[in-house]
Structures are given as structure tokens and as C-alpha cells.
Chain A
Amino acid sequence: NAGVTQTPKFQVLKTGQSMTLQCAQDMNHEYMSWYRQDPGMGLRLIHYSVGAGITDQGEVPNGYNVSRSTTEDFPLRLLSAAPSQTSVYFCASSGSSGANVLTFGAGSRLTVL
């Protein structure tokens, strides 16, 4: 199994550009989420989804959109990138039952100039 796959691994954007970070999991997990990791701030939850068609906001949702049309995919969209969105982004998933252990992707490093 591939687990959680994130693309791209690296991306450089100019202020105002848009882009989508892709996340896919092949474990039939109901729960999927996006975090950003910044130095000295740990991981902060951006958006999450408890199933196809259901999304909700986390701690830092402003500037980001998500959708969940299938169980497998949970893309994160930046409509108008800002330098404050320079960060490392992680997608994570977990099953709806049991231990709620998160399985993380390898991360996507985004730089906004």
C-alpha cells in the first residue's frame, strides 16, 4: 500500500497565484486532514473531513479551500497565495473506528515569493 501520497513535494509560487496541493490515500480511511508546519509553532490544523462530501474548518482555515468528492482524495486549494502561506503542508488520514491514529504523507514544501 502507498498510504498517504502528497503532490507536489516542492512548489514555488508568486504572490497572488493559485495552486492545489493533492492528497490521496488508499487505506479507505474516512477521516482526512491538512496541517501546516511552521518553525516553533508545531502543526496546526487547516481543514478536515470526516467523509466524502463533508468538510470542516480547523484552527487556521483562512486562505485555504478544500473539497472531498471521493473517499480517497482531499485536495487543498490556495486561491490567492500570500507569503504568510509559506510553510510545509502535511496531509493525514485515519480510520473512523479504532485508535484514531493519523497516517501522514511525506509533506509538501511551499514557498510564496
Chain B
Amino acid sequence: AQSVTQLDSQVPVFEEAPVELRCNYSSSVSVYLFWYVQYPNQGLQLLLKYLSGSTLVESINGFEAEFNKSQTSFHLRKPSVHISDTAEYFCAVTLTGNQFYFGTGTSLTVIP
């Protein structure tokens, strides 16, 4: 089975500063990788995904993630965060699309 490790449970960062949320996965075969975001009292929403092709994927709100097969990582980055980015972020992996494995989440707090 796959597993996902999010190394940081809480990440505080000042507004307009850069941020990186780390995600590592364990799998000996090719997988699909996702980042989901959860705003307070809401369900999860897709932020971005890696299925194949270019290892750098971007979201519409300035986040990007890079798939690194040799390091089995899929870290999420943003060069300049905004107050509205405060949320819980989950990394997820699936091999077949039937069973998704989620990390424990990283709580990003943007400080004014």
C-alpha cells in the first residue's frame, strides 16, 4: 500500500513571504499525486495534480508543486502567500484511482 508523509503539521508564515509544504510518498510504482486544500468548516478542494508529463504543475492561485521521482516527493510552494491562503493542506496519492491515501495535513497560517 502507498503512504504519504507530510513532515510539517503547522507552518506559520508572514504575508507576502514564500512557503513550502513538504510531502513525501512511498510507492515502488508510478502513482498519481494531488494537493487538496480545506478551508475552515468546508470539504476538501483540489488545488493541483500530477498525473504524467511535466514534473512541475501549477494551480490558478499561484501555488506550484514539483514531482521528484528520485526523492519520492511532491512539495507544494508559493512565492508570496496571502492571508486568504490560510487553510489546511493535504497531500494525496493513488495508484488506481480507487484508493486514495492522504497525509495527515499541514495547517498553513499566514500572519499579517
CB of B34 within 8 Å of the partner chain: yes
Count: A-B pairs, CB below 8 Å: 54
CB of B71 within 8 Å of the partner chain: no
Interface size class for chain A?
A: 20 to 34
Docked complex Cα distance between A107 and B42 (Å): 7
Cβ–Cβ contact A104 & B45, under 8 A? yes
Enumerate chain A residues within 8 angstroms of B43, measured Cβ to Cβ: 4, 90, 104-107
Interface set of A (CB-CB < 8 Å, partner B): 4, 31, 33, 35, 40-45, 48, 50, 56, 58, 90, 92, 94, 99-102, 104-107
**Listed A/B pairs (29) with beta-carbon separation below 8 Å:** A4-B43, A31-B97, A31-B98, A33-B100, A40-B9, A42-B102, A42-B104, A43-B90, A43-B102, A45-B100, A45-B101, A48-B98, A48-B99, A56-B98, A58-B99, A90-B43, A90-B44, A92-B44, A99-B51, A100-B97, A101-B34, A101-B49, A102-B44, A102-B46, A102-B100, A104-B36, A104-B44, A106-B43, A107-B42
Interface set of B (CB-CB < 8 Å, partner A): 4, 6, 9, 32, 34, 36, 41-46, 49, 51, 90, 94, 97-105
